[in-house]
Amino acid sequence: MKNLRDIRAFLLDMDGTIYVSDEIISRAREFIRFLEEKGYPFLFLTNNSAARAEDYQQKLSRMGIDVEKERVLTSGEATIRYLLRETPHRRICLLGTPALEKEFRDSGLELDNKEPHCVVLGFDMTLTFEKLANAGLLLAKGVPYYATHPDFTCITDKGLIPDTGAIIAALDTVVHRKPKIIGKPQPEMVAAALEKLGAAAGETAMVGDQLDTDLTMAAKSNLFGVLVLSGETPVEKLESQSMIKPDMVVSDVGELCDRLREL
Ligand SMILES: [Mg+2]
């Protein structure tokens, strides 16, 4: 039985857990201050590979949470860490934003659309037909294939727009191949986070608002799963979805802060 007492480090979802769109969740600042004061290592996780860690650092800062950009792990960075640690691929055909391209280059990876060692799909908001067609031709030849995260849609203030999962699906109709995926809820995202934190799974909590990503990931990777009810999961869904059992359920990170103080 896992216990909050054994937890030394925290992985934190952002939307629905720390803020909802641009509204900070009440007591989120207090929770982060508490983690800092007590010296708990923590990381904010996001599957969004179109944005940079700095973008999230600035967003958090606007809401009164000032952290170093190293506190943010995007699925883009997790993918880079995975490629460098687990594969020999150094020449990449990348479908991604200029920000993601820069992150790959800064990590020592070479971008090459002609003779790459592998194809990597990110959340490419600069996608063109030419890029898509080129990736399809490479995949048809059997080039190894990765994607930063599986999300089909991304929520914007205008509504849902296609995310990486939709690009995966489009290519699948042409080449009948699926990529190895790195982002939440995959264990590769956890491996990148634990590597960055220097923590072990058994002493780390995953705090998030979604059963099918955050809490599924916690269960698969032996993390202590904390579900917050401040985001996308209503209590009724928790009761009906008996497949995924969080180790702890709290109304929000403020309540989690109270539980940690009580230890
Ligand atoms: Mg969330």
Distance in Å, CA 16 to ligand 1 centroid: 4
Final residue before a domain boundary, out of 126, 146, 181: 181
Handedness of CA 191, 192, 195, 198 (dihedral sign): negative
99 and 140 assigned to the same domain: yes
Distance in Å, CA 174 to ligand 1 centroid: 32
115 and 135 assigned to the same domain: yes
Distance in Å, CA 211 to ligand 1 centroid: 9
Do residues 177 and 145 lie in contact, with contact meaning Cβ atoms separated by under 8 Å?
yes
In a domain, 240, yes or no: yes
* Residue 172 in this model has a pLDDT that exceeds 70: yes
Final residue before a domain boundary, out of 181, 207, 223: 181
The mean pLDDT value for 75-99 works out to 97
Distance in Å, CA 111 to ligand 1 centroid: 31
Residues 6+ apart with CB under 8 A from 197: 9, 11, 41, 42, 43, 204
Distance in Å, CA 19 to ligand 1 centroid: 9
Residue 151 to residue 128: CA distance in whole angstroms: 19
Distance in Å, CA 231 to ligand 1 centroid: 6
The mean pLDDT value of the chain amounts to 94
The mean pLDDT value for 228-233 works out to 86
User: For the domain that residue 109 is a member of, what is the CATH number?
Assistant: 3.40.50.1000
Residues 6+ apart with CB under 8 A from 188: 78, 82, 181, 182
* Residue 27 in this model has a pLDDT that exceeds 70: yes
Least confident span in 1-10, 37-46, 131-140: 1-10
In a domain, 82, yes or no: no
pLDDT of residue 241: 62
| Domain membership of residue 251 as a residue range | 4-75+185-262
Distance in Å, CA 167 to ligand 1 centroid: 22
Q: For residue 99, what are its two tokens?
A: 């920000």
* Residue 114 in this model has a pLDDT that exceeds 90: yes
The mean pLDDT value for 150-175 works out to 92
Distance in Å, CA 48 to ligand 1 centroid: 11
* Residue 169 in this model has a pLDDT that exceeds 80: yes
Distance in Å, CA 207 to ligand 1 centroid: 9
169 and 190 assigned to the same domain: no
Q: Which of 145, 226, 201, 152 is nearest to 178 (CA)?
A: 145
Distance in Å, CA 116 to ligand 1 centroid: 34
The mean pLDDT value for 169-195 works out to 97
At 47, which helix (H) or strand (E)?
Answer: none
52 and 109 assigned to the same domain: no
159 and 175 assigned to the same domain: yes
pLDDT of residue 66: 96
Distance in Å, CA 210 to ligand 1 centroid: 6
Distance in Å, CA 14 to ligand 1 centroid: 6
Distance in Å, CA 80 to ligand 1 centroid: 23
* Residue 238 in this model has a pLDDT that exceeds 80: no
Task: Report the domain count for the chain.
Answer: 2
229 phi and psi angles, rounded to 5 deg: -95, 20
Residues 6+ apart with CB under 8 A from 189: 45, 47, 73, 75, 78, 182, 183, 217
Final residue before a domain boundary, out of 166, 181, 196: 181
What is the model's pTM?
A: 0.93
pLDDT of residue 243: 80
pLDDT of residue 239: 74
Distance in Å, CA 130 to ligand 1 centroid: 33
63 and 93 assigned to the same domain: no
* Residue 242 in this model has a pLDDT that exceeds 80: no
Cα separations (Å) of 190 from 96, 105, 177, 233?
22, 23, 24, 22
In a domain, 80, yes or no: no
Q: What percentage of residues in the chain have a pLDDT greater than 70?
A: 99
In a domain, 83, yes or no: no
The mean pLDDT value for 196-211 works out to 95
Handedness of CA 205, 210, 213, 215 (dihedral sign): positive
* Residue 25 in this model has a pLDDT that exceeds 90: yes
* Residue 89 in this model has a pLDDT that exceeds 90: yes
* Residue 110 in this model has a pLDDT that exceeds 70: yes
Q: Are strands 110-111 and 72-74 parallel, antiparallel or unpaired?
A: unpaired
Distance in Å, CA 8 to ligand 1 centroid: 22
Residue 66 to residue 61: CA distance in whole angstroms: 5
pLDDT of residue 212: 85
